[in-house]
Amino acid sequence: MSEAAFVKGLLLAVPASFVAVHLFGRLGRLGAVLGIAVGIAAGLAATALLPSGQIGYVASFVLMASIYAVLSLGLNVQWGYTGLFNIGIAAFFAVGAFTTALVTTRMPEGPLAAFSQQAFGFGMPFLVGVLAAGAVSGVVAWAIGRPTLKLRDDYLAIATIGIAEVVRLIFQNERWLANGPQPLRGIPQPLNCLTQTDGCGYLPAAVNAFFSPLTPRDYPFVYLAVVALVLVVVYLVLERMIESPWGRVLRAVREEESSARMNGKDAAAFKIQAFVVGAVIMGIGGALYAHYMVSIDYSHFDPLYATFLIWVMLMLGGSGNNRGAILGAFVIWGIWTGTASLIDEIRPALAAISSDLPARGPYLRFLFISILLLAILRFRPQGLIGEKRRTS
């Protein structure tokens, strides 16, 4: 095994270890040790057995699925634990992505400045951009939640999807804010210097030496480890919050709001808190997405792509269960990317039926996912991993 393959295997081991630790969770500390060992073994085995092109695809797939898992966790707080029917996920996704882009990039300079406009550019580090994305999304959620959370579920859904479209159209038409309909480019990628010849000057020499076998084409492996760590932190924090008295009140509000009120709980306040927490997590997911894509525009946050898919992920995995939210993200992203190849394979057959059908391939993917959602709701409404039964 080459040095580059060894480093890639260890980076792939980060998400693999997270999964393995949970599989052996009942064994306590021994399970944690076994999980990490299995994760490392799985990562190294993947890089040793798969061709370089395929292992690169695996890294990109896990990376995007992990970003969607963060978004699915945010929705799980709102719908899975509190029963808030939010159809405006794309709004917080977009706000998080554009916020981190504006915070971490610098104002355009030179001859191209006339073709690229933005309201501000502070050139701040990646972590500051992610935190700002979560904070701004939370503030927007609070401003939206104050009036809309007083509505019934159906009206709340209508309001949030309308707000999501307003946010998307603002980023599409207001050029002074984030370059209008044109892409906002040059979003920095954290730790990309590790794949450069000189390494990162602000990191210890041992760290630069470890990553030295990697090339710029291997950057997805580095960013995968970053995204996986963020996903793990978000998951662990949410698990602690949901198991706390705060989480129990959320479930009480979801199951019987009037009874929660009779027991002295301010249901409206808890619903706003859950809405804001979920939006903060969605904003963080948007930030992770922006730094991976490097260039974003309003079209990335279409409701079908940035809301519908995330709902299907949560429904398939199991609402009210954070593990289910993560599992659903990986399964649906696998189906979504797999159907792209399937549509390419059946294009000749589609063309034989009608010359217009091959151009409608993307819509066939949504049709397939829609049918899958109906099947989930009909035959497995609790999802692949149902909500945990709690006796207290």
pLDDT per position as a tens digit, 195-232: 998 899 889 999 999 999 999 999 999 999 999 999 99
How confident is the model at residue 74, as a pLDDT?
A: 97
How confident is the model at residue 346, as a pLDDT?
A: 83
When the pLDDT of each residue in the chain is averaged and rounded to a whole number, the result is 91
How confident is the model at residue 166, as a pLDDT?
A: 93
Q: What does the pLDDT average to over 99-124?
A: 90
**348-361 residue pLDDT tens:** 888 888 888 878 87
How confident is the model at residue 113, as a pLDDT?
A: 78
**252-263 residue pLDDT tens:** 999 998 899 999
Whether 286 and 96 have beta carbons less than 8 Å apart is answered as yes
**268-296 residue pLDDT tens:** 999 999 999 999 999 999 999 999 999 99
Phi, psi of 29, rounded to the nearest 5 degrees = -65, -35
Q: Which residue has the higher pLDDT, 23 or 230?
A: 230
How confident is the model at residue 342, as a pLDDT?
A: 81
How confident is the model at residue 289, as a pLDDT?
A: 98
Of 334, 228, 263, 174, the closest CA to residue 13 belongs to 228
Confidence of residue 380 (pLDDT cuts 50, 70, 90): confident
Q: State yes or no: pLDDT of 325 exceeds 80.
A: yes
Name the least confident of 28-42, 93-107, 118-132: 28-42
Q: What does the pLDDT average to over 89-100?
A: 97
The domain spans of the chain are: 1-49, 62-309
How confident is the model at residue 388, as a pLDDT?
A: 78
Whether 212 and 199 have beta carbons less than 8 Å apart is answered as yes
How confident is the model at residue 225, as a pLDDT?
A: 95
Confidence of residue 244 (pLDDT cuts 50, 70, 90): very high
Confidence of residue 390 (pLDDT cuts 50, 70, 90): low
**115-156 residue pLDDT tens:** 789 999 999 999 999 999 999 999 999 999 888 887 777 788
How confident is the model at residue 391, as a pLDDT?
A: 55
Name the least confident of 83-92, 180-189, 370-379: 370-379
**308-321 residue pLDDT tens:** 999 999 999 999 99
Whole-number Cα distances in Å, 104 to 54, 128, 293:
32, 8, 14
How confident is the model at residue 356, as a pLDDT?
A: 82
Q: What does the pLDDT average to over 47-52?
A: 88
How confident is the model at residue 305, as a pLDDT?
A: 84
Whole-number Cα distances in Å, 319 to 276, 309, 314, 362:
18, 14, 6, 27
Ramachandran class of 319: left when φ > 0, alpha when ψ lies in -120 to 50, beta otherwise: beta
Whether 101 and 175 have beta carbons less than 8 Å apart is answered as no
